[in-house]
Structure formats: structure tokens, C-alpha cells
Structure 1
Amino acid sequence: MTITLARVDDRVIHGQTMTRWTKARSVDGILVVGDSIAHNKLRRRVLKAAANDLKVGIYTVDEAPEKIKQGIESKKNFFLISDSPQTFSQLVDKNVDFGKALNVGPMNTRPDTKVLGNTVAIDQADYDAFQNINDHDIEIQFQLLPDDSIRSWETLKNKYDAMD
């Protein structure tokens, strides 16, 4: 069927994903992409438990293109989630089609980040990744919850640039 939500969320699968986003967008399963996630057995178990009854596949960036393609060709709807915009930037560079929009949820404060708003803190690597995604004509939508207003990459990019 399709990817009904492509999302960056530093918590990946959690309460808001399961109670709010699954009500707003059709979903039969969740595809999680990220090398550090895929190689962490404990985190894999926690994410699968957090997804309740939804099937979860957790893949490395190298495995993802084929798994995403299989998901799109299936009769099911999927969320595609990673904890990092760099992962989506890598997918774009691999010509992976996950839709024309990337939704960005919580990216909380980490060392060497600039706080751009409630739950959004990015560093230079995040900035470069978002710019690469944007340069591939994918709309970047910063939105914590489905009924929140969407902030654009252009708006947050200008804020980041003004902080230099």
C-alpha cells in the first residue's frame, strides 16, 4: 500500500505514536530504520513491546531500501520511523521513496545542539541532513502531535542560521 507517515522521533515508538499518530494515519505496521537501533537488542525488544499489537520491523540503513520497497508493494500501510534525520538523508541518497513529506517530532536537547523550539534541538549534522532532504523536494514538517500546527524547515532553518 503505502508509507502513511515518515517521521523522525528521538523516542521512535512511544505513547504519542501509539495513541495519537495511529489514530490520525492508517497503519498496519511500523518500519524502524537506524543502525544503532538495529544493533541494540534491548532497544529492539522495548520498541516492539511499545508497539502493542502492531508488527514492527527494525532494519539497518543498508537493509531498509528493500524492506521499504516490500512494504510499499504489500497490501498494508506502514509508518517509517527513525530517531535521526541523518538516517532519512541516507535513504534519500539511496533513492528510497518514502513519500513527499517527512514529519519531525521530538528531537530533544543533546550536546552541541541549538534549541529551535519546543522539543526541537538540532546540531550541524541534523541541519545538513534536513537540507539534503529538502534539496530532494521532500517537505519537512515539524509537528509534535497530529493536531499541532506544522512548522516548516525554512522557518527553523532561518532561526538556526540567525543563532550563529
Structure 2
Amino acid sequence: MPNILLTRIDNRLIHGQVGMTWTNWLGANLVLVADDLLAADETQQSLMDMAISGSAESRYFTLQKTIDVIHKAADRQKIFMVVRTPQAALQLVEGGVPIPAINVGNLHYAEGKKQVTKVISVSEDDIRCFRALEEKGVHCTAQGTPDDKKTPILSLINQE
């Protein structure tokens, strides 16, 4: 089984907080970004690599390639997986990727979304995906940095 230390949903994908703070705190030696758009954009990959701790490597796979190859990961790989959306996380889980828990970092506000924290806004489809993930046993919590308190995402969504 692949050694996935943490899976994070962050629509920014890799930035300083992800590439340095979380990677170092986890002790990850591989940051795996599962994202169909970024997998095809070598320029953006190079920019994101600049934000990753020097002790970690990076891989940029499509969602399907992640599903297809994750079980071939070496035991020595301590994987920090990052996806852009709850929909992507759900697709990975439904594809058999063993994700026990998800950290929700940043989901930008857009029209039609409900803001639930300063940095997390959700659409009806996002809420559907979070509920589906929880039903599949994948616990989803909001947490900006390792020092922040973990808050169950559904409790934030259900606050009105």
C-alpha cells in the first residue's frame, strides 16, 4: 500500500505553505500533485517546484495516472498528495486510491459559492463531494497550517 501521509485540497496546489511548511512538517519526500491541467503544463510545474522543500521530489500526474500508478509507489516514498478540488479527491477515492483523511486548505470564493471560512468557499457540488467522501470513511478537516486546529469541514458547511 502506498505511504500517503496526507492528502490536501488546495486550489492553489503548490505554494510556500504547501511546498515548505506542510512538506517539512509531514517529513514527506514526495509531493504528488494529481491534477489534469497541471500535468500538461511544464511551465507551471517548474514554477511550483520552486516552492517545494529541497528535501522533497515532485510528480505531476493526471487523476487517472494517479489511480493507475499509486499502488506501485515504493515503500520509501513518503507521499504528500495535493489536489485542486473536492471533485478530484472523490474521483481518486472512487478509483481506489487509499486516502484515509483529507486536509482542506484553500477553496477560492466564486459566484454561487458559500464562504465557510476566510479561505474556504464551497459550491453545492463541493458539499455533495465532501458528504460522499465522509460516507466512504474519508474524514475531511479544514486546517490552514499544521499549528491550526482541525475543524471537520461538514461542521463548517452546516453552520448558518
When the two structures are superposed, what TM-score results if normalisation uses the length of structure 1? 0.88
Inter-partner Cα distance in structure 2 for 1:26 and 1:133: 25
CA deviations 1:68-102 (Å, max 9, x no partner) are 2222x43120100011111110011112112x210
C-alpha contact 1:31 1:68 (8 A) present in aligned 2? no
Residue 151 (structure 2) aligns with: 151
Q: Tell me the SS of whatever aligns to 2:45.
A: helix
How far the C-alpha of 1:40 sits from its partner, in A, is 2.6
Inter-partner Cα distance in structure 2 for 1:75 and 1:19: 20
Residue 108 (structure 1) aligns with: 108
Tell me the matched-pair count: 158
C-alpha contact 1:8 1:103 (8 A) present in aligned 2? yes
How far the C-alpha of 1:39 sits from its partner, in A, is 2.4
- Unaligned stretches of 5+ in structure 1? none
> How well do the aligned residues superpose, as a CA RMSD in angstroms?
1.6
How far the C-alpha of 1:22 sits from its partner, in A, is 2.3
C-alpha contact 1:29 1:56 (8 A) present in aligned 2? yes
How far the C-alpha of 1:52 sits from its partner, in A, is 4.5
Residue 121 (structure 2) aligns with: 121
1:63 to 2:65 alignment? yes
Structure 1 runs (4+) greater than 6 angstroms displaced = none
Residue 41 (structure 2) aligns with: 40
* Structure 1 pair 67–30 and aligned structure 2 pair: CA distance change class (3 A): farther
- Unaligned stretches of 5+ in structure 2? none
How far the C-alpha of 1:149 sits from its partner, in A, is 0.7
1:22 to 2:19 alignment? no
Partner letter of residue 74 of structure 1?
Answer: D
Inter-partner Cα distance in structure 2 for 1:58 and 1:6: 14
Inter-partner Cα distance in structure 2 for 1:155 and 1:77: 30
Partner letter of residue 58 of structure 2?
Answer: V
CA deviations 1:31-89 (Å, max 9, x no partner) are 10011221233322222232243211111111011332222x43120100011111110
Identity among equivalent pairs (%): 24
Q: Tell me the SS of whatever aligns to 1:31.
A: strand
